[in-house]
Amino acid sequence: MSRRQAEAREERLAVLPRICGSILDTVGNTPVVRINKLAPEGVEVYVKLEAFNPLGSVKDRLALGIIEAAERDGTLKPGQTVIEATSGNTGIGLAMVCAHKGYPLVVTMAENFSVERRRLMRYLGARVILTPAAEKGSGMLNKARELADKHGWFLCRQFENEANADMHSRTTAMEILADFGENGLDYWVTGFGTGGTLKGVARVLKEKSPGTRIIATEPDNSPLLGSGVTQSYRDDGSPAASHPIFRPHLMQGWSPDFIPKLTNDVLEAQFIDRLVPISGADALEYARALARQEGIFCGITAGATFAAALQVAREAPKGSRILAMLPDTGERYLSTPLFDDITDTMSDEEMEISASTPSYRFDAPSQAAPAADGAAMPEPTEKARDFVEQVISDPDEPVVLFALEWCEFCWSVRKLFAAADVPFRSVDLDSVAYQENNWGGDIRVALRKKTGAPTIPQIFVGGEHVGGCTETLDAFKDGHLQDLLKAKGVSFDASKSVDPYEFFPKWLHPR
């Protein structure tokens, strides 16, 4: 980048508004970015980065549009529970909107969608009801309908709700026109998903930029649109059955097992100028290529859309301008095949780099200075010694964890106890309550004198020393801890089947 380009970027950033009334005011106005390395020569390829929405995907738009439309027409009442079926991104967007506006949210989601999505929704306060993967998208949709009917909840109906497409007509389409001008864009490329983006943008471009060709893309192994097989619908516009051509595919959020009503509207209006099928392998390849060659971090569906855009670009006349919609961030795909070749351990190359200097290595002895020979262990104060004895002999709290507040090994033991419903007292020696006059340090000296172990945590049951983190997890694994808890009269859930080693810190494995 030239100095002038850098200065121009800084000037643009300097005039952007910095103060928003709420998180909802940050939805939309996502950037369009030019592709510099991956585009064919003579053709301008751009991507619209919907990951710049506040919760990381294009579905933030429809979530806000649907909820506010329902508020305006009165179908959503104050405090009413909202429910929707989602592969994840819509649910995450709804969780943001509902958290801000004060609506309880329940989402239904097929179990095969990425776990990070369900965790994000729960983190934002939503309740996530999983449905069997074998029942596909129709299963989670039917479950949402059942729950809405039984409990009187507001069902978003993203696949047939006109507010979805309307939001894209008002925002996404107008942003594209503002960036490229009328007839300034030759091709617009998108997957169909719910159909909201496709319908909302396509109808505006057809009216205001008729020279722009609409390119839709779908999985090559599940070509619902390309099959020509019609979709059946209920009276309310929801799908009556799975589409017979549907097959499982990699692109989460693309192509459910039915053609949504909003997408069918686009087919009937003949807005699509070309349909481009894309393989899962190409979706993975180009998502990774965007990351490693353009610095654009996006998901599998974005990789698939970009692959379709490049296919169009290779055949387009010189000078063509192509825009591809990139719907979300790569962080939604950490547990999917997109990251199969990405490890959290050091590779041989990284180990070689580490070994190129002498210190802070896992393949060499520590460079720390040894303790002085014959160094005496400090004597504990009487107050600290008495405190330890009093705590571990308290009959009302027989399970005691001497810990540090944010130590990962201490949290491993806490998670084990929580999983097995073991009641315990945690003495957090680094907490505010133990900081005055180094009181926590004095207790730690007394604890080391009693156990002979310098490490934290240390666990006691009924006054009996179990050990540190590893010893406690080992004792649970072989049943000794459960026997000790029973012998000391500690009530816990003995029926829980728990692998205690799953609670070790995730980084604690061979490098």
Q: What is the CATH number of the domain that holds 329?
A: 3.40.50.1100
* Contact yes or no for 305/325 (Cβ under 8 A): yes
pLDDT of residue 372: 46
Residue 366 covered by a domain: no
Residue range 346-370: average pLDDT? 78
Q: In what order do the strands lie in the sheet with 213-219?
A: 32-34, 44-49, 321-326, 187-191, 213-219, 274-278
E strands, 187-289, in order:
187-191, 213-219, 274-278
Name the band, by pLDDT with cuts 50, 70 and 90, for residue 251: confident
Q: How far apart are CA 340 and CA 248, in angstroms?
A: 19
Name which of 120, 133, 127 is nearest 59 in CA terms.
120
CA angle, 471 as apex, 468 and 475 as ends, to 5°?
Answer: 135
Q: Looking at the structure, do residues 179 and 133 belong to the same domain, yes or no?
A: no
In the 8-state DSSP scheme, what is residue 273? S
- CATH code, 408: 3.40.30.10
Determine which one of 59, 136, 199, 261 is catalytic: 59
Query: Considering 112, 129, 158, which residue would you say is the last residue of a domain?
Result: 158
pLDDT of residue 16: 59
Name the band, by pLDDT with cuts 50, 70 and 90, for residue 145: very high
In the 8-state DSSP scheme, what is residue 221? T
- Predicted confidence (pLDDT) at residue 366 exceeds the cutoff of 80: no
**Cα-to-chain-centroid distance, residue 483:** 40
Q: Looking at the structure, do residues 289 and 187 belong to the same domain, yes or no?
A: yes
Q: Looking at the structure, do residues 300 and 218 belong to the same domain, yes or no?
A: yes
* One-letter amino acid for residue 157 of the chain: R
Q: How far apart are CA 90 and CA 62, in angstroms?
A: 8
Name the band, by pLDDT with cuts 50, 70 and 90, for residue 181: confident
- Predicted confidence (pLDDT) at residue 376 exceeds the cutoff of 70: no
Q: Looking at the structure, do residues 218 and 251 belong to the same domain, yes or no?
A: yes
- Predicted confidence (pLDDT) at residue 2 exceeds the cutoff of 80: no
- Predicted confidence (pLDDT) at residue 197 exceeds the cutoff of 90: yes
- Predicted confidence (pLDDT) at residue 159 exceeds the cutoff of 90: yes
Domain total for the chain?
Answer: 3
CA angle, 509 as apex, 506 and 511 as ends, to 5°?
Answer: 120
- Predicted confidence (pLDDT) at residue 459 exceeds the cutoff of 60: yes
The percentage of the chain sitting over the pLDDT mark of 70, rounded to a whole number, equals 93
pLDDT of residue 28: 96
Q: Looking at the structure, do residues 77 and 119 belong to the same domain, yes or no?
A: yes
pLDDT of residue 191: 95
Q: What is the pLDDT of residues 465-506, one digit of tens each?
A: 999 999 999 999 999 999 999 999 999 998 888 899 999 887
Q: What is the pLDDT of residues 41-72, one digit of tens each?
A: 999 999 999 999 999 999 999 999 999 999 99
Residue 492 covered by a domain: yes
* Contact yes or no for 169/72 (Cβ under 8 A): no
- Predicted confidence (pLDDT) at residue 373 exceeds the cutoff of 50: no
- Predicted confidence (pLDDT) at residue 146 exceeds the cutoff of 90: yes
pLDDT of residue 496: 82
Residue range 205-228: average pLDDT? 95
Name the band, by pLDDT with cuts 50, 70 and 90, for residue 11: low
Q: Looking at the structure, do residues 89 and 176 belong to the same domain, yes or no?
A: no
| Cis check: omega of the bond before 457, within 30 degrees of 0 | yes
pLDDT of residue 430: 93
Residue 104 covered by a domain: yes
Name which of 59, 60, 82 is nearest 70 in CA terms.
82
Residue range 241-263: average pLDDT? 87
Query: Considering 282, 315, 339, which residue would you say is the last residue of a domain?
Result: 339
Residue range 247-270: average pLDDT? 89
pLDDT of residue 375: 55
SS3 for 37-71 is CCCCCCCEEEEEEHHHCCCCECHHHHHHHHHHHHH
pLDDT of residue 452: 93
Q: How far apart are CA 203 and CA 26, in angstroms?
A: 25
486 a catalytic residue? no
* Contact yes or no for 288/15 (Cβ under 8 A): no
Q: Looking at the structure, do residues 114 and 168 belong to the same domain, yes or no?
A: no
Helix axes 382-392, 439-451, angle to 10 degrees: 70
Residue 433 covered by a domain: yes
Q: Looking at the structure, do residues 105 and 173 belong to the same domain, yes or no?
A: no
Low-confidence winner among 1-10, 40-49, 119-128, 318-327 (lowest mean pLDDT): 1-10
Count of helix runs (H) and strand runs (E) in the chain: 18, 14
Residue 488 covered by a domain: yes
Residue range 343-365: average pLDDT? 85
Query: Considering 158, 183, 204, which residue would you say is the last residue of a domain?
Result: 158
The count of residues in the chain is: 511
Q: Looking at the structure, do residues 457 and 497 belong to the same domain, yes or no?
A: yes
Low-confidence winner among 96-100, 169-173, 253-257, 295-299 (lowest mean pLDDT): 253-257
The β-bridge partners of 321 are 44
How many CB atoms sit inside 10 A of residue 74's CB? Answer: 7
Q: Looking at the structure, do residues 268 and 413 belong to the same domain, yes or no?
A: no
Residue 369 covered by a domain: no
Q: Which domain holds residue 181?
A: 21-55+163-228+246-339
Pairing of strands 105-110, 274-278: unpaired
Alpha-carbon distances, residue 8 vs 1, 4, 177 (angstroms): 11, 6, 22
Q: Looking at the structure, do residues 177 and 268 belong to the same domain, yes or no?
A: yes
Alpha-carbon distances, residue 438 vs 443, 448, 457, 502 (angstroms): 9, 16, 18, 34
pLDDT of residue 390: 97
Q: DSSP characters for 300-349?
A: HHHHHHHHHHHHHHHHSPTT-EEEEEE-B-GGGGTTSGGGTT--SS--HH
Q: What is the pLDDT of residues 426-457, one digit of tens each?
A: 999 999 999 999 999 999 999 999 999 999 99
Q: Looking at the structure, do residues 45 and 64 belong to the same domain, yes or no?
A: no
pLDDT of residue 365: 65
Residue 357 covered by a domain: no
Name the band, by pLDDT with cuts 50, 70 and 90, for residue 377: confident
Name the band, by pLDDT with cuts 50, 70 and 90, for residue 4: low
Residue 169 covered by a domain: yes
pLDDT of residue 511: 37
